[in-house]
Amino acid sequence: MPIGHNNRIHVMHGVNLDQIGRRDPAHYGGMSFLQLEQAVDAFAVGLDVDARFFQTNHEGEFVEELHRLVNLADAAIVNAGAWSHYSRAIGDALQFAGVPVVEVHLSDVMAREPWRHVSVLSDACVATIAGKGVDGYRDALEILKRELGL
Ligand code: DQA
């Protein structure tokens, strides 16, 4: 499929995800952030979708990217890191993002500390995938492909 038609998927990472190579490998698997993005891109190529990538450690920048999302992409994957558990600002922005979004967490948040059991983003997402490591992103791409009717 030609690039940039109806298969653009914005892969958005939030706070501390750029540091996963330095974080607990029991939760995050020990790969670098670059390796994570490359693996997701390889999944996207295999699924014939066009993945684009964004990461910031600044909540306002993440919100502003969500404001732009409808003009940038046809769907999105969001791993907002710790913001997932308390940022009503990101939750509100997702409500009017205008494209389908799947929430992904590398780690099994439900098996970790209680404060990670709550996501204030999931209501605005078509699905939430957690605890499958990088493979969770492939699942998310497949869900979004179906959502887009591809
Ligand atoms: C995370 C889970 C969050 O609880 C945590 O704060 C992160 C990463 C994950 O991918 O497992 O930074 O979103």
CATH, residue 113: 3.40.50.9100
Q: Determine the length of the chain.
A: 150
Residue 23 falls inside a structural domain: yes
Nearest of 37, 75, 28 to residue 55 by alpha carbon: 37
Residue 3 falls inside a structural domain: no
pLDDT at 5: 73
pLDDT at 130: 98
Distance CA 54, CA 104 (A): 14
The response to whether residue 121 sits with its C-beta less than 6 Å from ligand 1 reads: no
Those residues of the chain that have pLDDT short of 70 are 1-4
- Give the distance from CA 140 to its chain's centroid: 8
Which amino acid residue places its CA nearest to atom 6 of ligand 1? 82
> What are phi and psi for residue 41, nearest 5 degrees?
-65, -40
Name the pTM for this structure: 0.96
**Residues 46-76: pLDDT tens digits?**
999 999 999 999 999 999 999 999 999 999 9
For residue 105, the CA-to-ligand 1 centroid distance in Å is: 6
Token readout for 26 is: 């029991």
Distance CA 101, CA 20 (A): 22
Residue 2 falls inside a structural domain: no
The total of structural domains in the chain comes to: 1
105 is catalytic: yes
Catalytic residue from among 5, 13, 27, 105: 105
- The CA radius of gyration of the chain, in Å to the nearest whole number, is 14
pLDDT at 3: 52
pLDDT at 1: 47
Best probe residue, ligand 1, of 19, 33, 109 (max atoms within 8 Å of C-beta): 109
Residue 77 falls inside a structural domain: yes
By residue range, what is the domain housing residue 115? 8-147
Distance CA 103, CA 123 (A): 10
